[in-house]
Amino acid sequence: MSRHTTFRVGGPAQYLATAESPEELGALFACCRRENVPFFLLGNGSNLLVGDRGFRGVVIRLGKSFSGVKADGQRLTAGAGALLSQAARTALDHGLSGMEPLSGIPGTVGGAVRMNAGAYGREMAELVETAEVMDAEGRRYVLSGKELAFGYRDSAVRRKALTVLGATFFLEEASPEQIAARMREFAERRREKQPLEYPSAGSTFKRPEGYYAGKLIMDAGLRGFCLGGAQVSEKHCGFIVNKGNATAADIAGLIRETADIVQKRFQVTLEPEVIFLGDF
Q: Which of 100, 123, 132, 273 is catalytic?
A: 273
Catalytic annotation on 185?
no
203 is catalytic: yes
Catalytic residue among 46, 114, 123, 153: 153
- Residues of the chain under the 50 pLDDT cut: none
- Whether the CB-CB separation of 113 and 131 falls below 8 Å is answered with yes
Quickly count: other Cβ atoms within 10 Å of residue 230's Cβ.
27
pTM, two decimals, is 0.92
- Catalytic residue among 46, 97, 103, 203, which? 203
Give the pLDDT confidence of 17-27 residue by residue, as tens digits: 999 999 999 99
Q: Write down the pLDDT at residue 174.
A: 97
Q: Above pLDDT 90, what percent of the chain? A: 98
- Express each pLDDT in 154-164 by its tens digit: 999 999 999 99
What pLDDT is recorded for position 280? 84
Q: In what order do the strands lie in the sheet with 230-232?
A: 226-227, 230-232, 240-242
Catalytic residue flag (residue 153): yes
- Can you give the pLDDT at residue 119? 92
